């Protein structure tokens, strides 16, 4: 920032790809920043599946972060392969095989991306074990951040990169995510090439999907021999509880699924029966369309905190592009207020357009027609 005023105190809430990208680009421009995250450390929990970072948004952010070459060393271009399978036969219909050297949207494990970004930050940037309870103080700042551990800190700019259930969002907007009517049930397969060779061959090096108009399966390879599958259904959000079970009741849930998918190919039904460990219930939520707020020079949002949409391959890319543009705005404007206004003038129309495009689009995952425009990616 080209100003002689005191250095602004910038706090990013959330150490996901968006928050860490913002911090990295700020530091590259000599701007101090602190990241607060509720996890007790970088290895506190599984970071989720694989992500495809697009050339026209996610990769732009990594270039500004000075990490694009490192990303390509970690990424899996073969993960761009996509197979559309027939639900009743398991045979391949549509099949996209990436060309040699194709790098439009290579895959990377979410955990590997996070490690790349964390390793690029100055020591001590991320404060772990900080669950934000509230953002207080006057509009325009400074704002007081109250954490569950009793810590209170002040910031001249609070950046909400804290995802679908954002606490920072409440300082700007009363909006809350709503259930889309589509639910994912996640299943894991470890050491797939040795322990689940038939499924590994079915999915291939990238991903495979099948649908019959009412239900779908999507499976995707991660690094290290892992597979993740997503059982996709149009059901009430509490469908497992309504049947008297929890997602931890693996055998009982599996029985329900086998009945729902009874007419499907035996090869695909193994994605319901051979998983390692319990399922993970992931009902899909989205923010109202459009989601905007009145400008506040001391608080702003990026990624899912700003524009939660169904996980159809765009979420992390938009979050990282948001982060990049916000960081660059802060580097190029004389005041925080001017930077936030410039950022929101670009981000809000873009996210509104994408929200409208994807509103109800999760239903398309159930279609038996060949498609690859939007595939599940990087579930939260």
Q: DSSP character for 193?
A: H
Higher pLDDT residue, 288 or 102? Answer: 288
**N-term to C-term CA, the chain:** 33
Band (pLDDT 50/70/90 cuts) for residue 380 is very low
Query: Residue 371 above 90 pLDDT?
Result: no
- The H or E element that residue 117 is part of is helix 110-119
Q: What is the mean pLDDT of residues 172-192?
A: 96
How far apart CA 111 and CA 114 sit, in angstroms, is 5
pLDDT in tens, 149-181: 999 999 999 999 999 999 999 999 999 999 999
pLDDT in tens, 36-71: 999 998 887 766 788 999 999 999 999 999 999 999
Close Cβ partners of 302 (under 8 Å, ≥ 6 residues apart): 18, 19, 22, 159, 160, 161, 319, 322, 323, 326, 347
Which structure tokens are listed for 132? Answer: 């934000």
pLDDT at residue number 1: 63
The torsion region of residue 224 among left (phi > 0), alpha (psi -120 to 50) and beta comes to left
* Class (C level, CATH) for 180-285: alpha beta
CA 158 from chain centre, in angstroms, equals 21
Q: Is the dihedral of CA 65, 69, 73, 78 positive or negative?
A: positive
**For the chain, percent of residues with pLDDT exceeding 90:** 85
**For the chain, percent of residues with pLDDT exceeding 70:** 95
Phi and psi angles of residue 245, each rounded to the nearest 5 degrees, phi first? -130, 175
Ranges assigned E (strand) in the chain: 10-13, 34-36, 50-52, 82-85, 92-96, 107-109, 126-127, 132-136, 143-147, 152-155, 157-160, 178-189, 207-211, 215-221, 227-234, 280-286, 299-301
Angle between helix 336-358 and 315-332 (nearest 10): 160
DSSP secondary structure string for all residues of 27-92: HHTT---EEE-SSSSTTSS---SEEE--TTTHHHHHHHTT-HHHHHHH-BGGGG-EEEE-TTT--E
Contact 198, 318 (CB under 8 A): no
* Peptide linkage before 299 cis (omega within 30 of 0): no
Q: What is the mean pLDDT of residues 222-226?
A: 91
Exposed / middle / buried, residue 138 (Cβ in 10 Å: 0-12, 13-18, 19+): exposed
pLDDT at residue number 373: 47
pLDDT at residue number 204: 95
Any idea where the domains of the chain sit in the sequence? 10-79+103-176+287-362, 180-285
pLDDT in tens, 262-308: 999 999 999 999 999 999 999 999 999 999 999 999 999 999 999 99
pLDDT at residue number 160: 98
What is the chain's mean pLDDT, rounded? 93
Cα within 13 Å of Cα(239), Cβ side: 19
How far apart CA 15 and CA 35 sit, in angstroms, is 7
Contact 190, 275 (CB under 8 A): no
Report the candidate in 148, 143, 75, 144 with the shortest Cα–Cα distance to residue 113.
75
Enter the pTM of the model.
0.93
Residue 304, marked binder: yes
CA 355 from chain centre, in angstroms, equals 15
Report the candidate in 78, 277, 60 with the shortest Cα–Cα distance to residue 187.
277
pLDDT at residue number 3: 47
10-79+103-176+287-362 maps to CATH 3.40.190.10: no
Residue 263, marked binder: no
pLDDT at residue number 140: 87
Residue 194, marked binder: no
Q: What is the mean pLDDT of residues 63-80?
A: 95
In this predicted structure, which of 55-59, 125-129, 359-363 has the lowest mean pLDDT?
A: 359-363
Query: Residue 182 above 70 pLDDT?
Result: yes
Exposed / middle / buried, residue 85 (Cβ in 10 Å: 0-12, 13-18, 19+): buried
pLDDT in tens, 300-346: 999 999 999 998 889 999 999 999 999 999 999 999 999 999 999 99
Residue 45, marked binder: yes
Query: Residue 2 above 80 pLDDT?
Result: no
Common-topology check for domains 10-79+103-176+287-362 and 180-285: no
């Amino acid at each position: 920032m080209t100003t002689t005023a005191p250095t602004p105190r910038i706090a990013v809430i959330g150490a996901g790809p968006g928050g860490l990208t913002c911090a990295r680009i700020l530091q590259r421009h000599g701007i101090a920043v602190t990241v607060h995250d509720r996890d007790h450390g970088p290895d506190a929990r599984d970071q989720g599946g694989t992500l495809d970072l697009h050339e026209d948004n996610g990769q732009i952010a990594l270039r500004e972060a000075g990490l694009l070459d490192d990303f390509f060393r970690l990424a899996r271009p073969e993960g761009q392969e996509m197979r559309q399978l027939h639900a009743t036969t398991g045979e391949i219909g549509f099949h996209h095989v990436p060309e040699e050297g194709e790098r439009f949207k290579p895959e990377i494990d979410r955990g590997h991306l996070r490690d790349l970004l964390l390793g690029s930050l100055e020591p001590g940037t991320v404060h772990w074990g900080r669950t934000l309870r509230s953002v207080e103080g006057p509009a325009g700042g400074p704002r007081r951040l109250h954490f569950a551990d009793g810590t209170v800190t002040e910031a001249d700019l609070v950046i909400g990169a804290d995802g679908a259930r954002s606490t920072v969002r409440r300082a700007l907007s009363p909006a809350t995510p709503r259930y889309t009517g589509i639910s994912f049930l996640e299943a894991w397969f470890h050491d797939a090439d040795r322990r689940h060779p038939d499924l590994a061959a079915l999915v291939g090096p990238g991903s495979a999907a099948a649908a019959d108009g009412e239900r779908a399966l999507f499976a995707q390879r991660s690094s290290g021999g892992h597979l993740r599958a997503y059982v996709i259904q149009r059901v009430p959000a509490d469908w497992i509880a309504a049947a008297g079970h929890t997602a931890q009741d693996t055998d009982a849930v599996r029985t329900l699924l086998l009945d729902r998918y009874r007419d499907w190919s035996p090869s695909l039904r193994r994605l319901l029966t051979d998983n390692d460990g319990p399922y993970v219930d992931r009902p899909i939520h989205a923010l109202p369309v459009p989601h905007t707020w009145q400008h506040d020079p001391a608080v702003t949002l990026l990624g899912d905190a700003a524009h939660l949409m169904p996980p159809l391959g765009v979420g992390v890319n938009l979050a990282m592009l948001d982060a990049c543009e916000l960081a660059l705005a802060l580097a190029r404007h004389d005041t925080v207020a001017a930077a936030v206004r410039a950022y929101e003038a670009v981000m809000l129309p873009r996210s509104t357009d994408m929200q409208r495009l994807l509103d109800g689009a999760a239903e398309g995952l159930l279609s038996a027609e060949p498609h690859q425009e939007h595939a599940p990616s990087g579930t939260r």
